[in-house]
Chains A and B, each alone.
Chain A
C-alpha cells in the first residue's frame, strides 16, 4: 500500500517538476530581452559569456564579491548538495557508474557540509537585521525543508540504516514503471516525502533561480551593441 502511495507521489512530483520547470523555461525563452543590458565590464564574445556564466555557476563569483559569509554558506551548501545528489545516483543505476562509486565517501561527508551550510544561511535569517527584514515565512520553510531532507538522510546513513538494497530495487522499479516493495522505515518515508515535496514546489518557488540564472540578461548578454544590432521582434514592428 505504502509502496503504491509513494510511487504515485513520485510520478506526480516528477511530472510537476518537469512540466512546471519546462513551462517556466519556455516562458523565459519566449520573452525577448529588448535591449542590451549586460552589467559591464562584460565579455565581448560568446565564449567570454560562457566563461562568465561558468564562473557564476561554479564559483558564485558575484556573491563572493558581495558578501563572504553568504558566499561561504551558500557555496558550501550548493556544492555539497551536488556531491550528495551525485552520490544518490547509485540508487538509480545498475551497474553503478565508476565515478559514482568513486565519490561515495565524499558524498557521504558532504551531507554534513550541506546541512552546516544550510544552518549557516538560516542563522543569518535570524541574526542579521537586514536579512531578517527581507525574509518571508516561505524562506524559513524552504530552509527547514532542506535541513530536514539533509538531516533525515544523514540519520539513515549513520544511525538507522534502512534496507538499501530494497530501496534501490524500488527506485529501479519506478524507473521501469514497476512498483516494487518499499521498506517502511519511518525516516526513509519522511526523507522521500520531503524530497517529493521539494520537487513539487520547485516550479512555483524561488528554486526557479536554478533555471533563471541562465536567462539573466545582465549576465548572459555579449557586450557588442555597437558592432551588432540587437532587436526584439516586438520592437522591430515599431519600425514598420
Chain B
C-alpha cells in the first residue's frame, strides 16, 4: 500500500506549468500513506483501529459535520459539475488521475452523502451517482483524501467557491473518528501535546540548539545577537515552525528574524512550551486538535507575560495564526492592542525596513537570481498588512528591499493562483514521495521557465513545508538542494548589524 519511492523518473515533462494531461484512470490508485498506530490514534482521542460499526459511526459523523459546518453541507449540495475546477489541481496536472480533479475528489464523499442524506440519492442512486459506503469506498477515501494538500487552488476558480480542502478535512476527520488515521500527521500532533513541537525537541535540547546558533551568529558577525528562550517579560513571543531550529534552509531564516529583532531593538523570546507554529490539527480537519494546539500559544504568551505575538515563516501556521487563532484561543485582550494579533514576521520586518532601522546592503545577495513561491495557505487563506493582497505585496517588498535580481514566475501560477509545492496538507512524508514529486512538477515547470528566461538560480518561500519539500524535490528537476531559500535568509544576508565590520573577502563567499 505504501508509496513506490522508486527513483524511476516518471515525472511528467510539461510544456507549460498548467498543461492539461490526458486522463489516466487509476494512475494513483492504491497510493496511500502509512496508517497511524493504535497508540497514536488513542492519544488524540480517536479509536485505535477500525471500529466494528464503522459504517454507522461514519454516517453519524457526516450528519454531525453537516450540522456543525455550513461549508460541508453547502459544498456537497451546490456543485453543478460545471468542470471549471477540473484542471486546477496540481496533483491532477502532475498525475493525470481523474480522481485528483477537485470535483471528482469531492464526489468520492458526495456520492455517499447523497446516498444516505438526500432524497434523490436514496431513491435514484444510479441517476445521481450515489453509492453505498463500503470498504472499497473507504479505501478510496483514504487514498485520494491523502492526495490533496488542502491548498484551496480549486476554490479560487469554482463559481460557488467550493473548497475541496474543506471536504478533504471533513473526510479525514470522519476517518479518524472510525479509527483510520494517518501516521505522519497524527504522530506529530501527539508530539506537540507531549513536548510542544512537531520534532519532539525538549526544552533542554531546544536551549542548547539555540545557544549554538547564537555562537555561530557571533562567529559570523562579531556581534552578540541573542535568540532567547522562555525569557519572562520579553515584549514579543516568536512562534515559529520547529523546522526553523534545525532544518536547512529554515535555520537561516531564523537567524534573519534574530538579526531583525536585534536591530529593531525589541526584546523577544521563543517559548519551549509553545515551540511550534505548525498546527497539524488543520490538516486532519479537527477543530478540537487545532484548538488544543493553539491554546498552548495562549498559555505561553500569558506565562511569559509578553505584549505581542509574532509568527515566523510557515504557511499553514499563518493560516491558523491569522485566520483562526483569535477564534480558537482568543480573545487576546491581555496583549498590546496597538499591534496586530498575531503579527507576521514579514509585517514586522517590512515595518522596520520602512522605518529605516535596518542597514541593508542588497549587493550581498547579488550571487542570487531569485524568484518567489507564494505558499498556498498564505496566499489563499490569510492576509498581511491592512489591504487585501498584502500577503503578496509585503513579502515581495521585503525581497526587493534586500535583493537586486528578482523575477516573477508565470502570473497564472503566482499569488492567488499559486501552485502548491506538492507537500502541503500533511503529505510531507516519505511514503508519499511519488505523489510529492508529481505534484511538484507544475510548480517546477514554472521555475524552469524563469530559469530559461532570466537565469533564475534560487527560489524563496515563507513556508517550512515548502522549504523542506523543495529541498527534497528540486534536485529531481536539476537544481541544487539549496536552491530553495527562506526570505529571512536573504534578509539575513543583506543586513549589516550595527557595529559589524565587513571585510570584503568574506563578502562574496558566504551565502
- Supposing A60-B159, A129-B22, A204-B120 touch, asked if A28 and B330 sit within 8 A by C-beta, the answer is no
Q: Tell me, yes or no, whether B288 is within 8 Å of chain A by CB.
A: yes
User: Given A31-B69, A218-B161, A219-B160, A138 and B127 touching (CB < 8 A)?
Assistant: yes
Among A31, A39, A44, A223, contact of B163 (Cβ-Cβ < 8 Å): A39
6 A-B residue pairings within 8 Å (CB atoms): A44-B387, A62-B84, A129-B22, A139-B80, A206-B81, A217-B161
CA distance A37 to B327 in the complex (A): 12
Q: Which of B40-48, B264-272, B376-384, B489-497 contacts A (4 or more CB under 8 A)?
A: B376-384
How far does the Cβ of A143 sit from chain B's closest Cβ, in whole Å? Answer: 11
> If A28-B73, A33-B70, A35-B287 touch, does A230 touch B155 (CB 8 Å cutoff)?
no
A219 touches B161 (CB 8 A): yes
CB proximity to B under 8 Å, residues A188-240: 201, 204-206, 208-209, 212-213, 215-219, 223, 225-226, 228-232, 234-235, 238
How large, as a class, is the contact surface on chain B? 35 or more
A92–B411 Cα distance when bound, in Å, is 50
Closest chain A residue, CB of each to CB of B129:
A136
Residue B103 at the chain A interface, CB threshold 8 Å: yes
Interface residues of A in 57-84 (CB under 8 A from B): 60, 62-63, 65-67, 70, 74
Per CB-CB distance, the 9 closest pairs between chain A and chain B, nearest first, are A212-B78, A66-B157, A136-B129, A218-B161, A41-B388, A66-B84, A131-B83, A219-B161, A130-B86
Task: Say whether A231 contacts B327, CB under 8 Å.
Answer: yes
Which residue of A131, A141, A216, A230 contacts B161 across the interface (Cβ within 8 Å)?
A216
Q: Decide: A208 near B104, CB < 8 A? Known: A35-B327, A41-B388.
A: no
Scoring B residues 325 to 340 as 1 if CB is less than 8 Å from chain A, else 0, what string do you get?
Answer: 1110011000000001
Is A180 located at the chain interface by the 8 A CB criterion? no
A138: which B residues are within 8 A, CB to CB?
A: 120, 124, 127-129
| In the assembled complex, A135 has its CB within 8 A of some CB on chain B | yes
Residue count of chain A within 8 Å CB distance of chain B: 64
Q: Report B-chain residues with C-beta under 8 Å of the C-beta of A63.
A: 82, 84, 157, 159
Q: Does B444 contact A (CB under 8 A)?
A: no
Do residues A134 and B327 form an inter-chain contact, with CB atoms below 8 A?
Answer: no
CA distance A32 to B166 in the complex (A): 14
- Asked if residues B71 and A212 are in contact (CB atoms below 8 Å), the reply is no
For window 154-184 of chain B, which residues contact chain A by CB distance below 8 Å?
155-163, 166
User: Is B69 a contact partner of A218 (Cβ separation < 8 A)?
Assistant: no
Q: A133-B101, A209-B79, A230-B326 are in contact. Are A218 and B120 (CB under 8 A)?
A: no
- Most chain B CB within 10 A, of A56, A134, A204, A232, is at A134
Instruction: Say which residue of A24, A39, A70 sits within 8 Å of B84 (CB atoms).
Output: A70
Once the chains bind, are B327 and A225 in contact (CB under 8 Å)? yes
User: Chain A contacts of B380 at CB under 8 A?
Assistant: 39-40
Complex Cα spacing A67 to B77, Å: 22
Chain B interface (Cβ within 8 Å of chain A)? 20, 22-23, 66-75, 77-88, 98, 101, 103-104, 107, 118-120, 124, 126-129, 152, 155-163, 166, 287-288, 291, 322-327, 330-331, 340-342, 379-383, 386-389, 391-392, 416
**Do A137 and B68 form a contact, CB below 8 Å, given A65-B156, A215-B74?**
no
Q: Which of A151-183 contact B (CB under 8 A)?
A: none
Closest CB-CB distance, B170 to chain A, in whole Å? 12
Interfacial chain A residues near B85, Cβ < 8 Å: 66
Q: Give chain B nearest CB distance to A2 CB in angstroms.
A: 28
Q: Cβ of A36 and Cβ of B128 under 8 Å apart? A: no
CB distance from B398 to the nearest CB of A (A): 18
Is A136 in contact with B81, judged by CB distance below 8 angstroms? yes
In the bound complex, residues from chain A placing their C-beta under 8 Å from that of B83 are 67, 70, 124, 128, 130-131, 134
Chain A 100-139, CB-CB to B under 8 Å as 1, else 0, gives 0000000000000000000001001000111101111111
* CB < 8 Å neighbour of B88 from A39, A60, A66, A213: A66
Whether A150 sits at the interface, judged by CB under 8 Å, is no
Q: Which residue of A lies closest to B72 (CB)?
A: A31
Measured between beta carbons, the chain A residues less than 8 angstroms from B155 are 39, 218
Asked whether A62 lies within 8 Å of B327 as measured between CB atoms, the reply is no
**Pick from A36, A209, A229: contact of B78, CB under 8 Å:** A209
CB <8 Å contact, A212 and B77: yes
The smallest beta-carbon distance between B72 and chain A, in angstroms, is: 8
